[in-house]
Structure formats: structure tokens, C-alpha cells
Structure 1
Amino acid sequence: MEQSVFHYSARVYYEDTDAGGVVYHARYLHFLERARTEYLRTFNFSQQVLLAENKSAFVVKSMNVDYRIPAKLDDLLHIETSIMEIKGASLIFSQAIKRDELTLCQATVKVAYVDLGKMKPVAIPQVIKTMLTHQI
């Protein structure tokens, strides 16, 4: 079975760049975060609802980012997101930021599902796990 890939687009604005029109390295993390959030939203899993109802949230545990080619002012970026692995309390995402077919940045992101009251990882709710498992 082919892995499901979620597509999200974002434009590079002046606020994302330095004086030379090149995207700041930290801004890539913003684009990646938005794509992961919108990906979960397609399954009707709102981060805000998880926080309000379960007092829990997905938080970034680790990230490996490979910056290959700089994005520039006014570029239309396409962020591809897929789930590589689901464990008891964590998800591992594979993400790529592209301009047309050119990969500008590649990232592997591990997020943990955390009980915010205890500030400890807890099992991802089965309803979320079941829905996301079908995407691998």
C-alpha cells in the first residue's frame, strides 16, 4: 500500500526573510508545524480540542532538519507530510518543503502525546491512532 501524503502550501512573505530575501532557517519550522497541524485537522483532530477536552497535546520531542536549498521571498512552497511510524505515545512524521519539484528542506519530526497536567507522555487515544494508522 502506498503511503498517504498530505499537501499544504505556503507563500514566503517579507517577514520570513532576511534583508537579502532569503528565508530564515527557523521559519522552516513554522511552515512544517502548520503543515502537521493542518494534516491532523483533516481528520477532525483539533489541537485546541485535545487541549480543552483531554488536557493533552502533541509536542515536538525531536527534529532532524536537512536544509538543502534556500527558499526566497515570494516563493510558493509546497509542504509534503506523511506519517512514518506510530508508537504508543509518539508519531514520527516525514516532511519535505518543495518549490515546484525541487526539495528545499527535508525533516523528520518526532512528536509525543503529552498529559499537560503531569507533563509526561501518555498513550495516544485509540480513535486518533486508528485513524492515523490507515495513512501509513
Structure 2
Amino acid sequence: MTDSLMGYLEAKGHIYPLCVFYEDTDAGGIVYHAQYLAFAERARTAMLNLLGFSNRNIAERHKVAIAVRHCTVDFRRAARLEDRLKVESRLIRIGGASLGFEQKIMRDGEELVVIEIFLACMSLETFRAQRLPDELRNVFSDYLDMNEG
């Protein structure tokens, strides 16, 4: 499935293109550090949509939410106002109640920011960890990068 607003799926991942807007930058025209996490969140949400899910339908059907458990961010180079970027997302781990991603924010093939983020599936009733729904696990397992997993 393709949708230009959602980027596109590749063999073992997802590519999400974006443009840096004024609202993404600080007074010097440099992307504000927290904005990289927002870019990564948008990319993961787009990937989920292209795989046939949304955060809303997961919550309604399975009574679970996917929440950030842990992340590390390696800032290597700055992005600037009006840069054309892409977020490359790869699934690197599937656990009983968790997913792990590596996301690279790139400009012209250069890694600007590398994020490793681990998400936990949690019950919306108890707010405790809950096993990933099988349909989500099955779809994501096709995208697990075994070089990292």
C-alpha cells in the first residue's frame, strides 16, 4: 500500500520523507532537539498505518496502547530550516509485550540523528504491560531485521 503522506514500506523497513518547517526550528533556524523525536513518532505512526493499523483501532479492538518505554538519541549533525529529510525506520526487536526500533533521520544519505526506541504494549484498563496482540505481532514479524534482533 502506498500513500504519499505516509511514506512507503521497503523490504525491511519504512521511509518517511519530511521537510523542516519554521515551527520545527529554534531562533537560529536549526531543528530544535525535541523535534527529532516528533519526526520519529510521525514515521512510526505512518508505518503502522501502512501496515493496516492505527493507534485508535488498536486501542478500540484490543484495549491496549503502545507507549514509549525507553529511548536513546545520538545527535550527529544538525538539520536546518527547509532541509528535505527522511526518517528510515527498522524494527530491531519484538518481545512479549514490546517492540524496538532503530530510526535514522537522514539528509542526502547522511545520518543526522540515530534513535533507538523501545515501546511497551500496555493495557488501557490496568496500565500494566500486556502481550502484543497477535495480529500486530504477525504483521511486524515480517519487518523484523534479523541483523539486529
Q: TM-score range by the shorter chain?
A: over 0.9
* Aligned-partner SS, 1:25: coil
- Cα RMSD of the aligned pairs, angstroms, is 1.3
The residue number in structure 2 matching 1:123 is 131
The residue number in structure 2 matching 1:90 is 98
Per the TM alignment, residue 97 of structure 1 is displaced from its structure 2 partner at its CA by: 0.1
Give the letter aligned to residue 48 of structure 2: L
What is the 5 A alignment of 1:1-16?
A: 4-16=12-24
Q: Return the TM-score normalized by structure 2.
A: 0.87
* Aligned-partner SS, 1:120: coil
User: Partners of 2:45 and 2:83 in 1: how far apart?
Assistant: 21
Q: Does 1:38 align with 2:38?
A: no
Per the TM alignment, residue 37 of structure 1 is displaced from its structure 2 partner at its CA by: 0.7
User: Partners of 1:53 and 1:125 in 2: how far apart?
Assistant: 10
Q: Return the TM-score normalized by structure 1.
A: 0.95
- Report the more deviating stretch, 74-83 or 46-55: 46-55
Q: Identify unmatched segments of 5+ residues in structure 2.
A: 1-10, 145-149
User: Partners of 1:91 and 1:52 in 2: how far apart?
Assistant: 20
| Runs of 4+ off more than 4 Å | none
Per the TM alignment, residue 55 of structure 1 is displaced from its structure 2 partner at its CA by: 2.2
The residue number in structure 1 matching 2:60 is 52
| Aligned positions, number | 135
